[in-house]
Amino acid sequence: MHLTRFTDYGLRTLTYLALAPERLAMISEIAQAYKVSENHMTKVVHRLGQAGLVETLRGRNGGLRLARPAAEIGIGDVVRALEPELALAECQAGGSCAIRGACGLEAILDEAVNALLAVLDRYTLADIAGPRHAALRRRLGQMAARPDRV
């Protein structure tokens, strides 16, 4: 199992925003920091906004920021909001497996997905990118990126 690139970019975006929650960020700067297509990042931010995870402000002094404190954003909730389907096999996705419901694999895979989500639910965005993560800030170069934006 792996998370989609879309979810990866969503988690990266939230991480970036959590490092400096007091300021507004631009999609272009986040895309540049991660060397990701700005067009793709725009789609990610749109979905994050729909999920209530980021707040976007339009206009000349606009940008985006977390919709609530990082400590209130669960990683499991982010994955659930961004992953279109967490199925490991066709049977979990309601597919047309010839032995669906008879082999027992579906229940085992459901348990595995639930275990993964249970682990993710133990962590918040603050655990990934809280104020104590100076090395992460330096790596992204965020603090110097646009100090004029507040």
Predicted local confidence at residue 53, as pLDDT: 97
Distance CA 127, CA 130 (A): 6
Domain ranges of the chain: 5-85+124-140
Query: What DSSP state is assigned to residue 124?
Result: B
HSE at residue 101, side-chain half, CA atoms within 13 A, is 4
Helix (H/G/I), strand (E/B), else coil: 25: strand
State the chain's maximal CA–CA distance in angstroms: 61
Query: Which has the higher per-residue pLDDT, 40 or 84?
Result: 40
HSE at residue 135, side-chain half, CA atoms within 13 A, is 1
Asked if residue 103 lies in contact with residue 109, where contact means CB atoms within 8 angstroms, the answer is: no
Q: How confident is the model at residue 132 (pLDDT cuts 50, 70, 90)?
A: low
pLDDT tens track for 49-95: 999 999 999 888 889 999 999 999 999 999 999 998 887 777 777 77
pLDDT average, residue stretch 34-62: 94
Mean pLDDT is lowest, of 51-60, 74-83, 106-115, 130-139, for 130-139
Predicted local confidence at residue 143, as pLDDT: 45
Angle between helices 5-19 and 75-82 (to 10 degrees): 140
Calculate what percentage of the chain has a pLDDT beyond 90: 57
Distance CA 43, CA 5 (A): 12
* CATH code for the part of the protein at 5-85+124-140: 1.10.10.10
pLDDT surpassing 70 at residue 138 = yes
pLDDT surpassing 50 at residue 103 = yes
**Tokens, residue 29:** 């700067």
Query: Which has the higher per-residue pLDDT, 143 or 33?
Result: 33
Distance CA 133, CA 16 (A): 11
